[in-house]
Structure 1
Amino acid sequence: MLLTFEVIAEALRERINSGGLMPGDALPTQAMLMAEFGASSLSVQKAMALLKQGGYAVSRPGKGAFVARGDTDTDVDPDNTGVGNAPVGGIAARVEALELALAQTLDQLTALQSRVEVVEGGTVGPTH
């Protein structure tokens, strides 16, 4: 059984692969995806991270997330402004997805350390 974020990512991949969403098209907003799938913001963020990691999407600060182009290293400029073109489907998308995953892992480790401290009845310090 797929987790909510995997369901969201798969649905968007299918829309992209079927041509329902084309390279350069804006992806649905976080609020739209939360409403459509009855999902939390974290689930939507994880789904977007999967899409970026897989080269399906790219973020543009202040503009949102867009379908990546798989055949080139430059993104489509839907506003035709010549501003904000970003590399897609490659290193930039993967770095962003990995940074998000790393931050989430750090949060999980911190929570786990807190639980261990409670169970042990003491403090567990860093092992430097």
Structure 2
Amino acid sequence: MSRDQPSATSARAERDRVADALRARIDSGELRPGDSLPTQKALMDEFDVERGVVRKALALLKSEHRLADVGRGSPPTVAEPANHREGASSLTADVELAERLDVAFQATDVTLDVFGLTTETLNSAIAPTLMAIRAGRVAPRSVTCRIMVPSPEAHLALPFLIDDPADPRPLQRLNRLIELHTRAFAHGMQYLGERGLVQELSVEVRGVPLTPTTKLYVLNGTEALTGFYEVVRNSVPAPFSEDHMDIYDVLGLNSHLFRYSAGSDSRGKSDVDFVEHSRTWFASMWETIAKPYLFTSQASTA
């Protein structure tokens, strides 16, 4: 059967149509864990689409952890639910977040709300998605990012010098890291807007006078990931010096994230409630005590 080559927009719509139908069969139990899907040829005929559309639909379902063995020469199988998979909790924060960002950016309109210490994990995790957008494999119409980090003027509980908790240098170092990572994230996103890869783009960074003990990511308003910062003893370079400082620091990049969904893969009311309360909590902070983050260059020109 001959099929016309679809445009990028219609191809995405066709991909979503195929993925939605297969997703519904999986979620309803019509296709159970371990069951094989129809062959790509059978799916092409059933949905009257090109093979590339079928492959993209299968890749999308794989990124949602609904399919296993995609692209191995035989029809993929339905994966075990996330809470039943061995090793599902062994992913580090940046790897887990990267997988969820990849799924989130498949949406037409993307929203991302983040609360954390430095956004280092976010920067590491977003890199594959940015590359996918630049390559044209992912094409959201709009992206709205709200980033909330500690205010540069706040006196935080951590980090601090073990031998002299009043020493300001650990906090000065932290503020430089916050500025480095938030600027890098903002610049990476702004590049997409400047190149016309995203039609509507908004990135805003605000500071709050709080010491984060957990990190939170709310994706598209339907998914929340949270993780704990661990307090560790660390030896770090002193600012503008060859000396090192022994400090009590916080570790977040290699921590683990807990995922909650209000979407079709939700585990129940507790998941939905957590996502809703995460959204409410973030909005309450953002709209009250969070203030526009004053970067060093802004301060020097004020």
TM-score normalised by structure 2 residue count:
0.26
CA root-mean-square deviation: 3.5
Q: Is the 8 A contact 2:40 2:75 kept in 1?
A: no
Tell me the residue number matched to 2:20: 10
1:21 aligns with one of 28, 31, 42: 31
CA drift of 1:103 comes to 7.6
- Cα deviation for residue 36 of structure 1 reads 0.1
* Larger strand share, 1 or 2: 2
Other-structure match for 2:80: 69
Alpha-carbon distance in structure 2 between the residues aligned to 1:35 and 1:22? 22
**1:12 aligned partner, one-letter code:** L
Q: How does 1:1-128 map to 2 (within 5 A)?
A: 3-59=13-69, 61-70=72-81, 71-74=83-86, 106=135
Secondary structure of 2:15's aligned partner: helix
**Structure 1 gap segments, 5+ residues each:** 75-86, 109-128
Long gaps (5+) in structure 2 = 1-9, 104-127, 138-302
- Deviation string 1:56-92 (CA, Å, 9 cap, x unpaired) is 1011624330000013225xxxxxxxxxxxx88x87x
> What is the CA distance between 1:29 and its match in structure 2?
1.0
Identity of aligned residues (%): 35
**Aligned partner letter, 2:63:** Q
Q: State the Cα distance separating 1:106 from its structure 2 match.
A: 3.7
- Structure with larger RCO (C-alpha < 8 A, sep 6+): 1
- 2:15–2:54 contact (8 Å) kept in structure 1: yes
Distance in 2 of aligned mates of 1:66 and 1:14: 15
Question: How many residues get paired?
Answer: 92
For the 8 Å contact 2:19–2:60, the answer to whether it is kept is yes
Tell me, in whole angstroms, the C-alpha distance in 2 between the residues paired with 1:105 and 1:11. Answer: 28
Larger Rg over CA atoms: 2
TM-score scaled to structure 1, two decimals? 0.57
1:105 shift after superposition: 6.0
Which structure dedicates a bigger proportion of its chain to helix?
Answer: 1
1: CA distance, partners of 2:75 / 2:21: 18
